Amino acid sequence: MSTNEIQASVLLVGNNLSGCLSPWFFHLEHQDYPLAQFEWIIVDMNPTEETRNIFSSLSKGSPLIARYIPHGNDSVIKAWDVGFREARGKWILCSQPEVLPSNNWVQRHVQLQYAYEGNACIGGALLPHPRLPSKSLTPWLLPEDEPPSTEPVIQVTPLHFSIYNMSIPKDLILRGGAFNKSFYFVEFAEVELVRRLSRAGCKLHIDNQALCWLWKGNSYIDMCRYHYRRGYSMGCYLRLFPNDYQIVVNYKLYFPYPTRIINALLIPYYHRLCLKLPEDSKLLQRMYRRILRYWRYRGFTDAMAKQEPQIDIIYS
């Protein structure tokens, strides 16, 4: 193997990426793994001149191999496909702007991929950054949505994997067809991808040393939309695997009729109230949980009814 051969491709897909470029550059430049042997690919779904200028400024003189790919298509699944095809490394490390990698992140994923001889989906751990305010809103506010932790996993399933911190061999992704085109959103689509690869003989492994930090919180309205998208993807998943009804139980996707009536009365009031109040996941925890489960349920039922996503109903 050439010392300058690219072994891994770090893939980041999203929009409004200008705020995450600088911290990501810093954390990738300080990886324990040789910088000449991995690349960073950013697929921007909402490219702006500001983001281009920030990337250009940071990449000048940087030892990190980085590529910025503007992608105007509004399909996040297609945007990930672009990233998968553009990757030059043997292993693709997937992540999201809300997290930052630890210093050994790339090295640990590559070590494990070699250990499994290129036939494994590797999931890493996610922990709140020590500087993240405890009241911050994150995608894991709901108890049933706990992120992969540093605790050992006895029996690994596709549900343990998160697009925020996982790696898959590029050839497996391309041969397997990447993300299923039945999904509109990437949230929970990785579970279907990992399940498909597992059934094809791919090993599953969760490693608590391949660590990423949750470094910033999300806005309340972004979390409502996130849970709607995730619920919609869960509906797409259940339509593909109708016997896998355990996800309905795990993620509380069944609301009895009295609960639906109460929610119809309370949720609009709660939503308006949360829009006015300062975001605080501790003080407003119970209210947030009820609202976020409601939006996840709405997304799920829309998908099960084969309706187009109605994410615009979540007004700000």
pLDDT over 70, % of the chain: 98
Query: Tens digit of pLDDT for each residue in 301-314?
Result: 999 999 999 988 88
Other Cβ atoms less than 10 A from the Cβ of 181: the count is 12
pTM: predicted TM-score of the whole model, two decimal places: 0.94
The two beta strands, 120-128 and 65-70, are: unpaired
Contact between 80 and 43 (Cβ < 8 Å)? yes
CA–CA distance, 159 with 139 (Å, rounded to integer)? 15
Instruction: Check pLDDT > 90 for residue 45.
Output: yes
Instruction: Check pLDDT > 60 for residue 315.
Output: yes
* φ, ψ (nearest 5 deg) of residue 122: -110, 125
Q: Which of 215, 230, 188, 218 is nearest to 281 (CA)?
A: 218
pLDDT at 44: 96
Contact between 231 and 295 (Cβ < 8 Å)? yes
Question: What mean pLDDT, rounded, does the chain reach?
Answer: 93
pLDDT at 150: 65
pLDDT at 279: 94
Instruction: Check pLDDT > 50 for residue 1.
Output: no
Query: Topology of 8-214 in CATH?
Result: Spore Coat Polysaccharide Biosynthesis Protein SpsA; Chain A (3.90.550)
Query: Tens digit of pLDDT for each residue in 134-171?
Result: 999 999 999 999 877 767 777 899 999 999 999 999 99
Sign of CA dihedral 18, 24, 26, 28: negative
Contact between 166 and 80 (Cβ < 8 Å)? no
Instruction: Check pLDDT > 80 for residue 316.
Output: no
Looking at per-residue pLDDT, the higher value among 231 and 146 belongs to 231
The segment(s) of the chain belonging to CATH 3.90.550.10 are: 8-214
H helices of 101-184, where? 105-115, 170-176
Looking at per-residue pLDDT, the higher value among 176 and 296 belongs to 296
First to last CA, the chain: 53
Q: How confident is the model over 95-117, as a mean pLDDT?
A: 96
Instruction: Check pLDDT > 70 for residue 91.
Output: yes
- C-alpha distances out from residue 262 to 75, 258, 302, Å: 34, 6, 19
CA–CA distance, 97 with 23 (Å, rounded to integer)? 10
**Residues forming a β-bridge with 44:** 14, 70
